[in-house]
Amino acid sequence: MNNYKIAVLKGDGIGPEIVDEAIKVLDAVASKEGFNLEYNEYLIGGSAIDVFDNPCPDETIKGCLNSDAVLFGSIGGPKWDNLPKEKRPETGLLKLRKSLGLFANIRPAIIFDELVNASTLKPEVIKGVDLEVVRELTGGIYFGEPREKTDDVAFNTMIYTREEIERIAEVAFEEAMKRRKKVTSVDKANVLEVSELWREVVEEVHKRYPLVELEHMYVDNAAMQLIRNPKQFDVILTGNIFGDILSDEASMIVGSIGLLPSASIGGKVGLFEPIHGSAPDIAGQGIANPIATILSAAMMLDYLNESSGAERIRKAIKEVLAEGYRTKDIASFDAKEVVTTEEMGSLIAEHASK
């Protein structure tokens, strides 16, 4: 029987609530599919600050590196907002991604037919959307040096090396080969030198993938096109900050940020997390949507080559939505019953064990 070591980083806010539901579903799937998952919990973010005075302790990094995959909840909250930057939860997550070498973040946005009415966009615009944002995660303006802030002036540096662009472009073209074979590379090459290099390197990598169609799009236009006609996109390849913004935008096409999973890969071990944050406004109320985290767990099973388990999870989610169960964030007029975080997890686990 295959045995996988999973590092579990629940984090803050709704993190523990949603990760618990993902584990419930994973356990249901594991027993049905005949593999075993061994979980080890580590602290990250605010909860790590409270214990270790450090948002990303060495023990957490070591634990992740000794695992087959990492299941992550979310970090942050008002309690830690006034700490100096190097001590803040968000800095801990950036350090973790960097330490694990996770340079590629894959964010699929697939619309469930059952939820076309949960989006603020018209059903005919979003029905059938199936796109994926491939975001560079460990470079660009979030990490660029120098950076500085004084009372009168502040600056950051948007920087990419040829090597960084090449490896993320490869991930995007490989993803496109598994999908509808189209890459839209998003940049701001009309204004930024860093985007000029981005474009050149993406074109070079494209030569190795002649079956994939490549188009370039400026980020301002991409933001508009995502709302105007999201079905035109297959794989969107972009840098750190543009990807951060566009994938949140993509979440609203799907209906709720509580539905979007992500996989961060590139290093020895992959990390799987919902795209949303710790939602302090709803933490502890039992209303958070666990589906983004459960779908992240499905991506984790794909990564572990347990694809039949991953499919089992996706099918279970579809069935539960088709039966009309909704958490509060996706409850629209066609909801049969509004359920809690825990009830949604149990329903999906139940269906996944069939």
Positions touching ligand NAD (CB under 6 A) are 14, 18, 74-77, 90, 93, 257-258, 273, 276-282, 288-289, 292, 329
Cβ proximity to ligand NAD: between 257 and 265 the closer is: 257
Which residue among the candidates 32, 98, 188, 231 is catalytic per the annotation? 188
In the complex, least distance from residue 50 CB atom to ligand NAD, rounded to whole angstroms: 15
Q: Which of 50, 113, 220, 334 is catalytic?
A: 220
Residue among 10, 12, 68, 142 flagged as catalytic? 142
Q: Closest CB to ligand NAD among 185 and 267? A: 267
Indicate which residue of 12, 68, 234, 244 is catalytic. 244
User: In the bound complex, what is the minimum distance in angstroms from residue 282's beta carbon to ligand NAD?
Assistant: 4
Q: What is the nearest approach in angstroms of ligand NAD to the Cβ of residue 23?
A: 16
130 is catalytic: no
Which of 6, 197 has the CB closer to ligand NAD?
6
The minimum distance between CB 257 and ligand NAD, in angstroms, equals 5
Nearest distance from C-beta of residue 179 to ligand NAD, angstroms: 25
Buried b (16+ CB within 10 A) or exposed e, 309-337: bbebbbebbbbbbeeebbbbbbbeeebee
Distances (CA, A) of 237 to 184, 230, 316: 6, 15, 30
Smallest distance, ligand NAD to C-beta of residue 238, A? 17
Q: Which is nearer to ligand NAD, 260 or 352 (CB)?
A: 260
Residues in the chain: 354
Give backbone dihedrals phi and psi of 181, rounded to 5 degrees, phi first: 60, 45
Pick between residue 237 and residue 287 the one whose CB is nearest to ligand NAD: 287
188 is catalytic: yes
Q: Is 68 assigned a catalytic role?
A: no
Q: Is 58 a catalytic residue?
A: no
**Residue 113 a catalytic site member:** no
Q: Which is nearer to ligand NAD, 55 or 63 (CB)?
A: 55
* Catalytic (active-site) positions: 142, 188, 220, 244, 248
